[in-house]
Amino acid sequence: MDLLNTLVDKGLRREQPTREEALAVLATSDDELLDVVAAAGKVRRHWFGRRVKLNYLVNLKSGLCPEDCSYCSQRLGSKADILKYTWLKPDEASKAAAAGLAGGAKRVCLVASGRGPTDRDVDRVSETIKAIKDQHEDVEVCACLGLLSDGQAERLREAGADAYNHNLNTSEATYGDITTTHTYADRVDTVRKAHAAGLSACSGLIAGMGESDEDLVDVVFSLRALDPDSVPVNFLIPFEGTPLAKEWNLTPQRCLRILAMVRFVCPDVEVRIAGGREVHLRTMQPLALHLANSIFLGDYLTSEGQAGKADLEMIADAGFEVEGAGEVTLPEHRAQAGGGCGSHEGGGVCGSAAAAPSPAEPRTDLVAVRRRGAGTDVAPNA
Ligand code: SF4
């Protein structure tokens, strides 16, 4: 297929595909799907070999957010039956992080619900970063605390944070349909602040919120322009009690096409499969490892992931290897530029010529709300 040969060539040269080429990946048929995965897999292996980076989420503060992001189970007015708690103490967060690191994670993502941190919150998170790094010297720490005010990114960097996550989530054109309490421009501004402070920027998207193929290509092209080191791809988990509870639109094939498109547009960037992996990719998860080079181990912010042991077995069975603490994730040109990248987790449409948007069967049986790990007395799932 000429399209795929062109995209592989461009990916190996870090050349941006055209919008038409990116859209054509999303419009491929099921008959072509394995060819698409194989082509994007060549680009993945060129930049990241067969390594899989494991990341571990610690939810420092859960629920009770004043913002209204419609995909989020922690939003204002959410009726989702999730855990709600205020800031974990540094030693509690460090203990939670240790469980993930013991399971093979090399990055800990410290996440807090809310519009953005106060200066006191930045102090708390700085203490937490120190507590974690005192115990685990080599760990990468990414903070994900919402919109940043001037100077806060610099303070987090000084405290030892390696990266900052803030997702664009969807296209600029549809952002106002998803959230009204802050703007797309606010999000772009925070990613830029993190970048400017010397933090490795991590910014991604949520697929499955009713967006068009054009929206998906728009957001991924915008991400490429912002040049983050890592791009988490969330697949919407339609939590009961949120406005998007009925948006069961993704199929495993659609998820693979989306991941392939992201790989072609951001070839040398850490592409991470984030929330919704188990719910939407299901038995196709191992194929997705040919596209993404990074996943979360264990649970997500407010939902349960599959057991860490099952993830490790899947990686080995598929012929991949867990990236070690001493290995550099990013290709040399990025690592030398100072890059080193979590997520407000998506909590879960299809639309292409061949993969017609036949609504996926709701798999509510797979959506388990998290009841263990940080903020609970129950051992985490790592
Ligand atoms: S995504 Fe973040 S800012 Fe938006 S409602 Fe959820 S916790 Fe709040």
- The confidence score (pLDDT) of residue 382 equals 77
Q: How would residue 363 be classed by pLDDT, with cut points 50, 70 and 90?
A: confident
Pocket-testing residue among 113, 190, 234, ligand 1, by greatest number of atoms within 8 A of Cβ: 113
Cα 71 to averaged position of ligand 1 atoms, centre (Å)? 9
Cα 70 to averaged position of ligand 1 atoms, centre (Å)? 9
The predicted model gives 201-229 an average pLDDT of 98
- The confidence score (pLDDT) of residue 359 equals 55
Q: How far apart are CA 295 and CA 311, in angstroms?
A: 9
Q: Where are the beta strands (DSSP E) in the chain?
A: 51-61, 107-112, 140-144, 163-165, 200-202, 205-207, 230-235, 270-273, 294-296, 321-322
- The confidence score (pLDDT) of residue 349 equals 28
Active site residue 266: no
Active site residue 255: no
pLDDT in tens, 49-104: 999 999 999 999 999 899 999 999 999 889 998 889 999 999 999 999 999 999 99
**Annotated binding-site positions:** 65, 69, 72, 109, 142, 202, 272
**Does the pLDDT at position 255 exceed 90?**
yes
- The confidence score (pLDDT) of residue 302 equals 84
CB-side neighbour CA atoms (13 Å) of 349: 14
Q: Any residues with CB less than 8 A from the CB of 317 and at least 6 apart, and which?
A: 286
**Domains, the chain:** 2-366 (3.20.20.70)
The predicted model gives 313-337 an average pLDDT of 93
Asked whether 187 lines ligand 1 (CB < 6 A), one says: no
Active site residue 144: no
Cα 138 to averaged position of ligand 1 atoms, centre (Å)? 29
Which of 75, 107, 109, 255 is catalytic? The answer is 109
For residue 147, what are the CA distances in angstroms to 113, 122, 165, 189, 271? 11, 12, 10, 8, 22
Which of 44, 51, 72, 107 is catalytic? The answer is 72
Q: Taking a C-beta distance cutoff of 8 angstroms, is the pair 66, 74 a contact?
A: no
**Annotated binding-site positions for [2Fe-2S] cluster:** 109, 142, 202, 272
Q: How far apart are CA 247 and CA 109, in angstroms?
A: 27
The predicted model gives 229-233 an average pLDDT of 98
- The confidence score (pLDDT) of residue 262 equals 98
Is the four-CA dihedral 218, 223, 226, 227 of positive or negative sign? Answer: negative
Q: Any residues with CB less than 8 A from the CB of 377 and at least 6 apart, and which?
A: none
More confident residue, 336 or 13: 13
Nearest 5°: CA angle at 60, between 328 and 132? 45
In terms of phi and psi (left: phi > 0; alpha: psi -120 to 50; beta: otherwise), the region of 179 is beta
Active site residue 350: no
- Please list the residues that pair with 61 across neighbouring strands: 112
pLDDT in tens, 131-142: 999 999 999 999
- Which residue type is seen at 280? H
Q: How far apart are CA 101 and CA 108, in angstroms?
A: 8
Is the four-CA dihedral 352, 353, 354, 360 of positive or negative sign? Answer: positive
More confident residue, 356 or 267: 267
For residue 330, the tally of other CB atoms under 10 A from its CB is: 23
**Does the pLDDT at position 220 exceed 50?**
yes
Q: Which atom of ligand 1 is nearest to the CA of 73?
A: 6
For residue 372, what are the CA distances in angstroms to 90, 212, 299, 300, 365? 18, 35, 9, 11, 18
Task: For the chain, give the percent of residues with pLDDT over 70.
Answer: 94
Cα 6 to averaged position of ligand 1 atoms, centre (Å)? 39
pLDDT in tens, 308-321: 999 999 999 999 99
Asked whether 166 lines ligand 1 (CB < 6 A), one says: no
Which of 51, 69, 257, 341 is catalytic? The answer is 69
Closest residue by CA, ligand 1 atom 5: 75
More confident residue, 170 or 1: 170
Active site residue 69: yes
pLDDT in tens, 20-30: 999 999 999 99
Asked whether 178 lines ligand 1 (CB < 6 A), one says: no
Pocket-testing residue among 74, 76, 165, ligand 1, by greatest number of atoms within 8 A of Cβ: 74
